[in-house]
Chains A and B, each alone.
Chain A
Amino acid sequence: MSVTEQSVASEVSNRRVRVIALMMGVIGLFSLVVFAFGSVSSAHSSFLFNPVNLSESAPWHVGTLTLNSRLADVLLALVMIALAAETFIRRPARGVMWRFGGVAVLFLLALLIWAARSPGPSPVSFVNLTALLIGSSEVTMVLVFGSLSGVMCERSGVVNIAIEGQFIGGAFVGSMLASTTHNFIYAAIGGAVVGGAIGWILAFFALRYLSDQIIVGVVLVTMLGSLSSYLNLQVFTPFPQYNTGTLAPNLAIPLLSKIPVVGPVLFNQSGFFYLMLILIGVISFALFKTRYGLHVRAVGEHPRAAATVGINVVRVRYVNVVLGGAIAGVGGVAFMASQGQFQPNYTSGLGYIALAAMIFGRWRPSGAVVASVIFGLSVYLSYTLTSYQVPVSLYVLQMFPYLITIAVVAGLIGRVRAPAADGVAYHHD
């Protein structure tokens, strides 16, 4: 990766680094003006670390961290501006994404400090950081499933726009199975089967009939959206016992879940969360350390060359798209298991945000995870921030995750390189 990256570092990507640096600088200045100088000099922001539901039985207690809002935000903004300036002047060949991600995290922190400042019009003048991370981890988890699905498909050269549809299908079947069997293992298997089937349909049209992958994907999303809304009225409305909205129980891991902050966030989660952690490891290993992964990446970069050395391009793509679809299907079940009752259209574009997270993560599982964490936080914040001192309409806040996605996609495409044969049909002569 590094060799290609440096050879691509031409004038164009130099200019793009500058654009990214400018974006970072604007974010830093915005934080300075709006967040730092938007709070009174005497304002304080408090951070709590004890999860609400654990506070009684928790064997540990972390004290409250109280900061001077303006001072803390000035410091954070200055760090952001410094990072931007460093990127602008040095134009590093590597690590631009990490700097950008770092600025995004600092921005969210600055936003939180500003939102939780006291005295303010709203009584909530503290942020429970642990609760925040737990809340956003649900969105993050779904995005990770989606972006891992994207990585699987696109590394083999097929664009899976249908992730949203696989979420919907998985959530529908997952809700039905979870309500009838009360067993989330069956629900997950059902979701994987449905997601895999949708993946197979996409692969069938894209690989056998060389149809346009993006069009087939979008049509599949439309179809799944209307089919699920049809079935919702036809099945779930007359038989509400099939859609009870059971939530997956949390499984606390004995010792690890007692670690302050990290414990409840990472080790007191539903089974889907642990499954996601395992998948991240398995997929990273499989794609980059095994023979199979080498084949997949060869097929995604240069299918003709791969075919020449005897790799069955079409089969590799079928396998990956079906597996990717299954992963996204499980993601749909995970979404249902954390949000409750299935409703039509309730994934509200998360599948597309997952695709953007995959791009942000440079088509790598690890990067996709980092991006999903940032996106997950911003999606979650956009729904919860209204309870803080934020003088902005709920609906304006709700635009932000989507605007951030647009900014990321606009700022990073071209800077990051997609698999060379991504979205290009392969025809074996």
Chain B
Amino acid sequence: MSDLSTDPQAPASAPSAPAAPARRRWRLNSRSPIMITFYALILGLVVGALVIITTTPAVLDSWRGIFHSGTGIFRALKVTWDNVGAAYRSMFNGAVVNPANLWHSITTGQGWEATLTPLSETLTYATPLIITSLGVGIAFQTGLFNIGANGQAVLGGVTGAVVGSMVHVPMIVHLPLTLACGFAGGALAGLVPGFLKAYTGAHEVIVTIMFNYVIYAFLLFSVLSTPFQQPGQQNDISRTMDSSAQLHPLFGAASGLRVNYGIVVAALAVAFAWWFLERSSMGFDFRVTGANPAAAKASGINAKVVIILVFVISGGLSGLAGVVQVASTTHYIDGGFLIGSAGIGFTAITVALLGRNKPGGIVWASLLFAALGVGGRAMQGTTGIPLDLASVIQSAIVLFVATPVLVKEIFRLRAAPVVKLELATKGWGA
């Protein structure tokens, strides 16, 4: 699985024959991955709007009435615009900033907490997402599809929370220990699929998906079993982590903003991933294996070791994300931890694809998808449109990003030739 097919600039950047400057700039724009991402974002929002239009009774009713009067069509368009507009406006207000609040804060100097809360929430949500996506991205760069990131994050959260709540030592030891145990838990969950892939050829997609379900069952088992379950509780709730193992809010608990020191962990993870992929020799081995397995083998790279290490590192980062999630928000784990639409491991796959598996791209993609997620929650609160719409929009964006040619066709950006792409997946056997 080499050179992801989602990488449109790879074949496009090859012909660099000197062209007229103006033409070249135009071509650069239409082919640039950033522009494709931007267009994909627009298309994703259009898909989301279509979903809203076809499922909101008020909008449907207004369209049913277009033949009853001469102005029916205008009224229908207005109702549609109002509904879709309200949804996306509340999304923006909930994820970035509410202009009314901002204006209030600027003019009166009051209410900064309410003004900054959306951004703080987006950053809080983005923090573990960045870390998980780095793990998924590193695997993609090596030609491996780690779809088990969610399970790895859950296991990392469980192991981290066990150490955070049941070991009692000073913070200087406790916090690093907790984070390390989270990493180790995720790495363990990654080790098994990696080992099986390396030594039996079992396709990592099936193994990691099955492992997700194994870990979900383990999560329920662990939060309902005596040592880890909150004492005196019958429900699926774990013990609470010690204050010394928590990632505290950046501006203090009094600020009311949840953005926390997890951001420092995420920044370190980004720096590590960048250094690892771009500067370290092992990272080079990884990328060579992903780009051309045959060449990697010929140059003496041990593919088995690479596969196992990729899954250990990828799983470890996911586990770290899991423990960051617990340590920075709830401080305890329940049976629904990261399951369902809160599953950052699945969002991470789309984030990694959107960010083209590069650490920098992943940071931006995480912020965007975190904003969509947080905004989706705000939208659910104000307009009643379910939060899952955000996830629909996210998957649509990725589908379009994975198919740059389609995006170009839709926006009529140049007669895009169907280039022959090196495919990422090679079926079951390889």
List the 9 closest A-B pairs by CB distance, nearest first. Answer: A423-B427, A226-B391, A223-B395, A230-B388, A395-B221, A410-B202, A422-B427, A233-B386, A402-B210
Interface centre among A161, A205, A359, A409 (most CB of B within 10 A): A409
Residue B428 contacts which of A223, A348, A422 (CB distance < 8 angstroms)? A422
- Flag if A393 contacts B203 (CB, 8 Å): no
- Given A215-B402, A352-B209, A425-B421, A418 and B428 contact (CB-CB distance below 8 Å): yes
- Given A214-B425, A229-B388, A230-B392, A405 and B206 contact (CB-CB distance below 8 Å): yes
Residue A395 contacts which of B211, B220, B385, B398 (CB distance < 8 angstroms)? B220
Residue B426 contacts which of A211, A216, A410, A423 (CB distance < 8 angstroms)? A423
- Flag if A226 contacts B427 (CB, 8 Å): no
- Flag if A231 contacts B214 (CB, 8 Å): no
Residues of B within 8 A of A427 (CB): 418, 420
Interface residues on B, range: 35 or more
Asked if B114 is at the interface (CB within 8 A of a chain A CB), the reply is no
Residues of B within 8 A of A235 (CB): 55
Asked if A413 is at the interface (CB within 8 A of a chain B CB), the reply is yes
- Flag if A410 contacts B399 (CB, 8 Å): no
Asked if B224 is at the interface (CB within 8 A of a chain A CB), the reply is yes
Residues of B within 8 A of A229 (CB): 340-341, 386, 388
- Flag if A403 contacts B214 (CB, 8 Å): yes
Closest to A157 in B: B427
- Given A234-B386, A414-B429, A409 and B203 contact (CB-CB distance below 8 Å): yes
Asked if A417 is at the interface (CB within 8 A of a chain B CB), the reply is yes
- Flag if A209 contacts B418 (CB, 8 Å): yes
Q: 1/0 per position for A317-352, CB-CB distance to B under 8 A?
A: 000000000000000000000000000110011001
- Flag if A230 contacts B210 (CB, 8 Å): no
30 pairs, A vs B, C-beta closer than 8 Å = A205-B402, A205-B406, A212-B4, A212-B6, A214-B145, A214-B424, A218-B145, A218-B349, A222-B391, A223-B395, A226-B341, A226-B389, A229-B388, A230-B388, A231-B55, A234-B385, A352-B209, A395-B220, A395-B221, A396-B221, A405-B206, A409-B207, A410-B202, A410-B207, A413-B201, A414-B201, A418-B427, A418-B428, A418-B429, A422-B429
Which residues 376-407 of B have a CB within 8 angstroms of A? 385-386, 388-389, 391-392, 394-396, 398-399, 402-403, 405-406
- Flag if A161 contacts B205 (CB, 8 Å): yes
Alpha-carbon separation in the docked complex, A145 to B428 (Å): 20
Asked if A411 is at the interface (CB within 8 A of a chain B CB), the reply is yes
Asked if B10 is at the interface (CB within 8 A of a chain A CB), the reply is no
Closest to A214 in B: B425
- Flag if A402 contacts B214 (CB, 8 Å): yes
Residues of A within 8 A of B214 (CB): 399, 402-403, 406
Alpha-carbon separation in the docked complex, A227 to B52 (Å): 11
Interface centre among B4, B56, B147 (most CB of A within 10 A): B147
Alpha-carbon separation in the docked complex, A159 to B425 (Å): 10
Could you tell me the distance in whole angstroms from the C-beta of B38 to the nearest C-beta in chain A?
19
Asked if B337 is at the interface (CB within 8 A of a chain A CB), the reply is no
Residues of A within 8 A of B398 (CB): 219
Asked if B200 is at the interface (CB within 8 A of a chain A CB), the reply is yes
- Given A410-B207, A424-B426, A348 and B213 contact (CB-CB distance below 8 Å): yes
Q: 1/0 per position for A118-132, CB-CB distance to B under 8 A?
A: 000000000000000
Interface residues on A, range: 35 or more
Asked if B353 is at the interface (CB within 8 A of a chain A CB), the reply is yes
Which residues 175-208 of B have a CB within 8 angstroms of A? 196, 200-203, 205-207
Closest to B397 in A: A219
Residues of A within 8 A of B425 (CB): 159, 212-215, 423
- Flag if B427 contacts A159 (CB, 8 Å): yes
Could you tell me the distance in whole angstroms from the C-beta of A20 to the nearest C-beta in chain B?
10
Could you tell me the distance in whole angstroms from the C-beta of A17 to the nearest C-beta in chain B?
13
Residues of A within 8 A of B212 (CB): 349
Closest to A405 in B: B210
Closest to A217 in B: B205
Could you tell me the distance in whole angstroms from the C-beta of A381 to the nearest C-beta in chain B?
14
Interface centre among B218, B398, B425 (most CB of A within 10 A): B425
Asked if B295 is at the interface (CB within 8 A of a chain A CB), the reply is no
- Given A215-B353, A230-B392, A234-B55, A396 and B206 contact (CB-CB distance below 8 Å): no
Asked if A366 is at the interface (CB within 8 A of a chain B CB), the reply is no
Q: 1/0 per position for A189-221, CB-CB distance to B under 8 A?
A: 000000000000000010011111111101110
Asked if A356 is at the interface (CB within 8 A of a chain B CB), the reply is yes
Could you tell me the distance in whole angstroms from the C-beta of A222 to the nearest C-beta in chain B?
5
Asked if A112 is at the interface (CB within 8 A of a chain B CB), the reply is no
Where chain A touches its partner, the secondary structure class is: helix
Residue A205 contacts which of B206, B224, B403, B426 (CB distance < 8 angstroms)? B403
Where chain B touches its partner, the secondary structure class is: helix
Residues of B within 8 A of A210 (CB): 5, 418, 420-421, 423
Asked if B217 is at the interface (CB within 8 A of a chain A CB), the reply is yes
- Flag if A219 contacts B395 (CB, 8 Å): yes
Residues of A within 8 A of B294 (CB): none
Q: 1/0 per position for B256-270, CB-CB distance to A under 8 A?
A: 000000000000000
Residues of A within 8 A of B424 (CB): 212, 214-215
Alpha-carbon separation in the docked complex, A256 to B336 (Å): 46
- Given A418-B427, A424-B426, A230 and B213 contact (CB-CB distance below 8 Å): no
Residues of A within 8 A of B206 (CB): 352, 355-356, 359, 405-406, 409
Residues of B within 8 A of A421 (CB): 427
Which residues 257-299 of B have a CB within 8 angstroms of A? none
- Flag if A222 contacts B207 (CB, 8 Å): no
- Flag if B224 contacts A395 (CB, 8 Å): yes
Residues of A within 8 A of B88 (CB): none
Alpha-carbon separation in the docked complex, A396 to B6 (Å): 39
Could you tell me the distance in whole angstroms from the C-beta of A68 to the nearest C-beta in chain B?
33
Which residues 224-271 of A have a CB within 8 angstroms of B? 225-227, 229-231, 233-235
Asked if A398 is at the interface (CB within 8 A of a chain B CB), the reply is yes
- A205-B402, A209-B403, A212-B424 are known; give 14 further A-B pairs, CB within 8 A: A205-B403, A212-B4, A215-B6, A216-B399, A216-B402, A222-B391, A223-B392, A227-B388, A229-B340, A344-B340, A352-B210, A398-B217, A403-B214, A422-B427
Could you tell me the distance in whole angstroms from the C-beta of A339 to the nearest C-beta in chain B?
17
- Given A234-B385, A406-B211, A219 and B427 contact (CB-CB distance below 8 Å): no
Residues of B within 8 A of A344 (CB): 340
Residue B406 contacts which of A209, A218, A219, A413 (CB distance < 8 angstroms)? A209
Asked if B51 is at the interface (CB within 8 A of a chain A CB), the reply is yes
- Given A211-B403, A212-B402, A413 and B200 contact (CB-CB distance below 8 Å): yes
Q: 1/0 per position for B130-153, CB-CB distance to A under 8 A?
A: 000000000000000101000000
Could you tell me the distance in whole angstroms from the C-beta of B352 to the nearest C-beta in chain A?
10
Could you tell me the distance in whole angstroms from the C-beta of B190 to the nearest C-beta in chain A?
14
Asked if B346 is at the interface (CB within 8 A of a chain A CB), the reply is yes
Which residues 330-387 of B have a CB within 8 angstroms of A? 340-341, 346, 349-350, 353, 385-386
- Flag if A233 contacts B388 (CB, 8 Å): yes
- Flag if A399 contacts B217 (CB, 8 Å): yes
Interface centre among A403, A413, A417, A419 (most CB of B within 10 A): A413
- Given A211-B402, A393-B221, A413-B428, A403 and B51 contact (CB-CB distance below 8 Å): no
Closest to A16 in B: B200
